[in-house]
Amino acid sequence: MERIERPWNETTSYTRGSDGRFRPYLWLTLQSRRGESDVPIVGLVDSGADKSVLPLDYAELLGYETEDLSPVEVGQVDGSADAWDTQEPCEAFVRGIPSVKFEIRPLFVATLDALWGRADLMSTYVVSIDEKEEELTLHLP
């Protein structure tokens, strides 16, 4: 496995999302809780998200069962929504950088797009979002 020498930076241009707009999307690979499979997921890097959020369909793919999830209500831009929280993590890494793994404890919601939040991705990488240049930079100190 390739090791990343620190300090390390990578900058990438925004990509088009499901709504057709260019935004700071990033591919992560999540490893199922029992390690049986790797699940690549593209999500929006969202500095306003406390935790990463995944569409509910990914819960089963990542090895979460009903008894692993607790119903919660979460705040969002247009009010609140039902969600399912887990305290049991799975592992994740930025696609192409498998040597830098981090734990992710996602919230699952009935939504279309994944959001990468502060409690996991941004606790591992220093993230810069440059709206003017439409670029996303990841930095490992």
- Assess if residue 81 is contained within a domain: yes
- Model pTM score: 0.91
Q: Identify the domain containing residue 91 by its residue range.
A: 24-125
- Assess if residue 94 is contained within a domain: yes
- Assess if residue 67 is contained within a domain: yes
Asked if 56 and 79 touch (Cβ cutoff 8 Å), the reply is: no
- Assess if residue 40 is contained within a domain: yes
pLDDT tens-digit profile of 29-73? 999 988 889 999 999 999 999 999 999 999 999 999 999 999 999
CATH code, 33: 2.40.70.10
Give the pLDDT of residue 43: 96
Give the pLDDT of residue 81: 86
Q: What is the distance between the alpha carbons of residues 93 and 6, in angstroms, rounded to a whole number?
A: 16
- Assess if residue 19 is contained within a domain: no
- Total domain count for the chain? 1
Q: What is the distance between the alpha carbons of residues 14 and 23, in angstroms, rounded to a whole number?
A: 5
